[in-house]
Amino acid sequence: MSATRTALDRVTRVPGVRGALVIAAADGLVVAEQLMDGVDGRAAAALTGSLVGRLARTAESAGLRPPAFVHLRGDAGSVLAAPGPDDLVLVAVVSPDANLGLARLEMIEAAERLI
């Protein structure tokens, strides 16, 4: 579990990150989380797991490799996802003013070291 904790610490240190989770993508369940109040971890895990799975299948059917990073942008912020090994996905919920470049860098590196 220390690898997941380290990953969550790295991501939540980035300015503007409101929470981070490690999820099991196929099940859409939370493995570990560090969230600010108001972020629904279970919903984020279920929906992001589904999204990443669908994107991977879409990419595969188009003859592409599965995505290394997903950025879902909305009015009130973004959801970022970085798939890691063993079907694990590192997810971050960020506010609109977050440092997205740094968050992306930290997430991709941390996701590779999830186990």
Partner 1 sequence: MRALEPWVVQPLESFLAESAARLTLLMTSSGQVVAQHGFSRSLDVMTAAALGAGIVASTDELARLMGGATFEALVHHGQRQSCMLAAFSTPRGRWIGLVVFGPETSVGIVRLFFEQMIQQLAAAAPREQPAAPMLAENFETELDSSLKALFGR
CA atoms in the 13 A half-sphere facing the CB of 30: 16
Please give the Cα distance from 111 to 51 (Å, whole number): 17
Between residues 91 and 111, which has the closer beta carbon with respect to partner 1? 91
Q: How far is the CA of 50 from the CAs of 37, 43, 54, 65, 82, in angstroms?
A: 23, 11, 6, 17, 14
Single out the segment in contact with partner 1 by CB under 8 A; choices: 4-12, 47-55, 67-75, 97-105: 47-55
Shortest distance, CB of residue 29 to partner 1, whole angstroms? 5
Q: Pick from 13, 42, 71, 73: which binds partner 1 (CB under 8 A)?
A: 42
By CB under 8 A, the count of residues binding partner 1 is 14
Q: Does 28 bind partner 1 (CB under 8 A)?
A: yes
- Residue 45 binds partner 1 (CB under 8 A): yes
